[in-house]
Amino acid sequence: MSNSGEIWVIGEQRRGRLEEVSLELLSKGTALSQRMGVTLSSVLLGDEVEEIARELVFHGAEKVYLLEDARLRYYQSEAYARLLSEVIKEHEPQIILIGATEIGMELAPKVAAKLRTGLTAHCIDLYVGEVDDTPHLIHVVPGWGGNLVMHIICPQRRPQVVTVKPGVLPKAVRDENKKGKIIRVKPDVRDEDFRWIETVEVVEEPPQGKSLESADVVVCGGWGMNALGDFSRVQELADILGGVVAGTRPAMDKGWVEEAWMIGQSGKTVSPGLFVSLGASGAMHYTTGFMGSKVVLAVDHNPQAPIFHVADVGIVGDLREVLPCLIAELKKDRMPRKF
Ligand SMILES: Cc1cc2nc3c(=O)[nH]c(=O)nc-3n(C[C@H](O)[C@H](O)[C@H](O)COP(=O)(O)OP(=O)(O)OC[C@H]3O[C@@H](n4cnc5c(N)ncnc54)[C@H](O)[C@@H]3O)c2cc1C
């Protein structure tokens, strides 16, 4: 780590809308740039997105490198990766922060490979710490089945590329008085960038029911629901509470929920008023997905399950007994509930 070389946040826009994760990265980028005494910049690719570039400035970017071209309107796998790595090579930032979205998860390894540098994926935090008396950027990632938190450094290669899960960091505060430079870079878009793959249209899937991210109550089932054979009781509890059903990775693998309803590091991050966890052991890969919830209620028959370290209210018991009781009691209770 040095005090030369900027920190770059890759601004992600979709159809002319800035993804929230870019604002989250700018808040962390601001803290890191102040700590390291370096410039925080952003880079943005798209078509007619200058307004978004200004938003990046209002949220903390001191400079925005703007690459605009009609053919960059949508995310284009090859073109974005090549152009981004070229502009990085030219300006030599020392840290690249990318959101671990579907786009970021594809873009980051391509860029890192083109730059022959290290990538730490799915970070939940970043900070500057000392290793052998030398300051380093520490990349925090859950590892080894989610029961350990790894603190990773990239000592030899630059820039270091990091992806961060959307929803785990606070958003930067918008301030229209913030000043920053928008630097136009003429992108050299080539036909060969579209040889193998080209996005020609983006069709958004219509939302099915209440969205997971906006739900006040999320009821999430884990592998322990196997004891009941299916997810019908999870749905029943969610219906009574006016909530939305979600699942852990094994619940998704089992086919009880679709991937879009999986909670955790490689799934969705939620912060409802009430998060109910049923028969999930509490691996960190899972718990990072709901750490911002106001109240967490967990049911598991293993009193040692790590889920009880993060739960505000815990019920140790067999789901086959606890769930029918809980549902019956809640059905009786006619008090209005607000979460
Ligand atoms: C890179 C990586 C990313 C990952 N990303 C995610 C992710 O995004 N989301 C995710 O969920 N996982 C993720 N995982 C997997 C994660 O590490 C765990 O393996 C997973 O969360 C465990 O799911 P679970 O709690 O449902 O199952 P288990 O760990 O098997 O837990 C089942 C629980 O049910 C309890 N139980 C069993 N029977 C009963 C009963 N009758 N009554 C009450 N309790 C009972 C058990 O005591 C146990 O605690 C990831 C793993 C890796 C390596």
Give pLDDT tens digits for 221-232.
999 999 988 899
Best of 281, 320, 325 to mutate for ligand 1, by most ligand atoms within 8 A of CB?
281
For residues 190 and 222, membership in a common domain is answered with: no
Atom of ligand 1 nearest to the CA of 318: 42
What is the pLDDT at residue 72?
97
- For residue 89, pLDDT over 90 is answered with yes
Q: What is the 138 CA–ligand 1 centroid distance (Å)?
A: 27
Question: Rounded to two decimals, what is the model's pTM?
Answer: 0.75
For residues 303 and 268, membership in a common domain is answered with: yes
How large is the C-alpha radius of gyration of the chain? Answer: 22
Q: What is the 251 CA–ligand 1 centroid distance (Å)?
A: 8
Q: What is the CATH number of the domain that holds 298?
A: 3.40.50.1220
- For residue 16, pLDDT over 90 is answered with no
Structural domain contains residue 209:
no
What is the pLDDT at residue 163?
97
Q: What is the CATH number of the domain that holds 69?
A: 3.40.50.620
Helix, strand, or coil (residue 325): helix
Structural domain contains residue 294:
yes
For residues 279 and 130, membership in a common domain is answered with: no
Cβ(202)–Cβ(224) below 8 Å: no
Which residues have any ligand 1 atom within 6 Å of their CB? 145-146, 222-224, 227, 248-251, 262-267, 279-281, 283, 285-286, 300-302, 305, 318-320
For residues 167 and 248, membership in a common domain is answered with: no
Number of domains comprising the chain: 2
The per-residue DSSP string of 146-205 comes to GTEEEEE---SSSSEEEEE-TTSSPPPPP-TT---EEEE------GGGGSS-------PP
For residues 159 and 223, membership in a common domain is answered with: no
Question: Which of 127, 161, 194 finishes a domain?
Answer: 194
For residues 25 and 166, membership in a common domain is answered with: yes
What is the pLDDT at residue 267?
86
* Alpha helices (H) in 5-127, listed in sequence order: 20-36, 50-58, 77-91, 102-115
What is the pLDDT at residue 338?
65
What percentage of the chain has pLDDT greater than the value 90?
80
Nearest CA to ligand 1 atom 19: 145
Distance CA 326, CA 181 (A): 57
169 φ, ψ to 5°? -110, 150
Counting beta carbons within 10 angstroms of the beta carbon of residue 142, is it exposed (0 to 12), middle (13 to 18) or buried (19 or more)? buried
Nearest CA to ligand 1 atom 25: 280
For residues 73 and 109, membership in a common domain is answered with: yes
Structural domain contains residue 205:
no
The band of 298, judged by pLDDT with boundaries at 50, 70 and 90, is: very high
What six digits make up the tokens of 307? Answer: 């889920």
Q: For residue 71, give its domain range.
A: 7-194
Least confident of 202-206, 310-314, 321-325: 202-206
For residues 89 and 161, membership in a common domain is answered with: yes
Structural domain contains residue 51:
yes
Name the range with the highest mean pLDDT among 108-117, 159-168, 203-212, 264-273. Answer: 108-117
Identity of the amino acid at 76: Q
Structural domain contains residue 338:
no
The band of 169, judged by pLDDT with boundaries at 50, 70 and 90, is: confident
Question: Which of 162, 194, 226 finishes a domain?
Answer: 194
Structural domain contains residue 123:
yes
What is the pLDDT at residue 170?
87
In terms of Cα–Cα distance, which of 46, 42, 87 is closest to 60? 42
Atom of ligand 1 nearest to the CA of 307: 49
For residues 130 and 171, membership in a common domain is answered with: yes
13 φ, ψ to 5°? -120, 145
Structural domain contains residue 245:
yes
What six digits make up the tokens of 66? Answer: 């703007």
Structural domain contains residue 259:
yes
Cβ(195)–Cβ(189) below 8 Å: no
36 φ, ψ to 5°? -95, -10
What six digits make up the tokens of 179? Answer: 């000043």
For residues 182 and 223, membership in a common domain is answered with: no
114 φ, ψ to 5°? -65, -30
For residues 150 and 238, membership in a common domain is answered with: no
Average pLDDT for residues 239-243, to the nearest whole number? 93
Give pLDDT tens digits for 201-220.
988 877 667 788 889 999 99
247 φ, ψ to 5°? -150, 165
H helix or E strand, kind and range, residue 9: strand 7-11
Give pLDDT tens digits for 274-296.
999 999 999 988 998 998 899 99
- For residue 184, pLDDT over 90 is answered with yes
- For residue 167, pLDDT over 80 is answered with no
For residues 162 and 228, membership in a common domain is answered with: no
Identity of the amino acid at 328: A
Distances (CA, A) of 329 to 87, 128, 247, 299, 324: 61, 49, 23, 16, 9
